[in-house]
Amino acid sequence: MKFKDYNNCINYLFGLERSGIKYDLKNIKKLSVLTGNPHKNFRSIHVAGTNGKGSTASMISSALTEKGFRTGLYTSPHIKDFRERIRINGRMIPKDYVVSFTEKYFRDIEKIIPSFFEVTTAMAFKYFSDNGIDIAVIECGLGGRLDSTNIITPLVSVITSVSIDHTEYLGGTLKEIAFEKSGIIKKNIPCVAGKIKPETIKQIRMYCRERKSPLTLTQKKVRIRTGEPLADTRIFDVKTEHYSLRNLRLPLSGDYQRINLATAFGVFDALFTSHKIRFTENELRRGFERIAKNTGFDYRFKMLGTNPLVVLDVSHNTEGTRFLKRTLNAYRYRKLFIIFGMMSDKEYKKCINELEKLNGILILTKPGYKRSAEPEMLMKAVKNKSRAVIKNNASEAYAFATSQADANDMILVTGSFFLLSDILKTKKFGK
């Protein structure tokens, strides 16, 4: 099969979403054999969790890059460009590689009928292998146990957090979801756990004991003191078993980043203890300061405009929305306008309940994606309907917000990654 161009190829790949989510390892194992088991040609770090996966993976990847490793990074979803998902030392996978891979394995894809994510995972692993990376930081897409990425045997397994999400696949209780996340824990491989609720720690401990996997609970092992926020930057003092840094600058806003920072440092300790990979202080400082350059990671409580202040965030579940509330406490504004859109299979009702506590004006809209919840459906979950309006799409929602907001107000865009992507395509910010 030959595609006319890159866009034609991408449309084909996105069309694979019609097969839905395949929550098992059958297809990825078939694709892995066909592509030469590329995941066996590089070392890796595996990151699972309900929230904080992308931030934590990017922090780890950036530090590894600054240490001199040729570092692959696989994350999802993307904001503007599919190629954001697959990077080496910050550089996105080339368009021609995406096309050539898809053309080469087109017949296999048509025969196996894998999901979009399964093909993307196979592509990432093959690209990393073909380009001789030293180590890859791999973010789980869904759950862990049966996620397509779970064919790797990493240096460290990471579970950033466990909370309710994707209940149709992972189960409706924290214990069931912890079971799925713990599926990435491998025999004799150290595991690092971030912000884990007491009711799920037992599950993770049990798995680690069964697999003889050393467990680090960063809530107990990593001490972090937070300084005053400076615009888009946070200042931290960090103390672990092997590292001690003062006034560490992290160019990411969000109160929750201290949790992700602690998890990343838990991984740094584990890498030193188990694999003798030690970072210098300068490597760590550069790694955090250059996170955007080294990983392309952005748009987690990202400020994009002033007068009024415009903030983009991707809090797409209840826990993320609660953290968002804490972050807003550090900012001053007169009125708050909240542009919100979410997928219909997410906990949008609980998220709306949390957002209403912010006493802002809710602007409900629909991202340009087939799984998006209709704004009318979102409105049904709003208790105070006098403080909520419906707009057909992101462009109309943003235009309404800017027409109503004054210089001392804040416009907050939150919810789905797809909503942020739509907002970034408006005239205000360009492509």
Please answer whether residues 62 and 290 qualify as being in contact, where contact means their C-beta atoms are separated by less than 8 angstroms.
yes
**Structural domain boundaries enclosing 60:** 6-295
Task: Classify residue 390 as left (phi > 0), alpha (psi -120 to 50) or beta.
Answer: beta
Shared-domain flag, residues 290 and 318? no
Question: What is the residue-averaged pLDDT of the chain?
Answer: 90
Q: What CATH number is associated with residue 328?
A: 3.90.190.20
Q: Where does a domain end: 266, 295, 324? A: 295
Residue 229 banded pLDDT, cuts 50, 70, 90: low
Q: With CA atoms as reference, report the closest residue to 350 among 393, 370, 329, 321.
A: 321
Q: How many domains is the chain partitioned into structurally?
A: 2
Q: What CATH number is associated with residue 286?
A: 3.40.1190.10
Shared-domain flag, residues 350 and 321? yes
Shared-domain flag, residues 48 and 105? yes
370-413 residue pLDDT tens: 788 999 999 999 999 999 999 999 999 999 999 999 999 999 99
In the predicted structure, residue 183 carries a pLDDT above the cut 50: yes
In the predicted structure, residue 179 carries a pLDDT above the cut 90: no
Q: Which residue spans within 233-392 are E strands per DSSP?
A: 234-239, 244-250, 302-305, 309-312, 336-341, 361-364, 388-390
The residue with greater pLDDT, 154 or 1, is 154
Task: Classify residue 64 as left (phi > 0), alpha (psi -120 to 50) or beta.
Answer: alpha
Shared-domain flag, residues 285 and 307? no
28-59 residue pLDDT tens: 999 999 999 999 999 999 999 988 899 999 99
Alpha helices in 363-416 (DSSP H): 375-380, 394-404
Please answer whether residues 42 and 134 qualify as being in contact, where contact means their C-beta atoms are separated by less than 8 angstroms.
yes
Shared-domain flag, residues 291 and 310? no
Q: Where does a domain end: 275, 295, 315? A: 295
Lowest mean pLDDT among 209-223, 227-241, 361-375, 392-406: 227-241
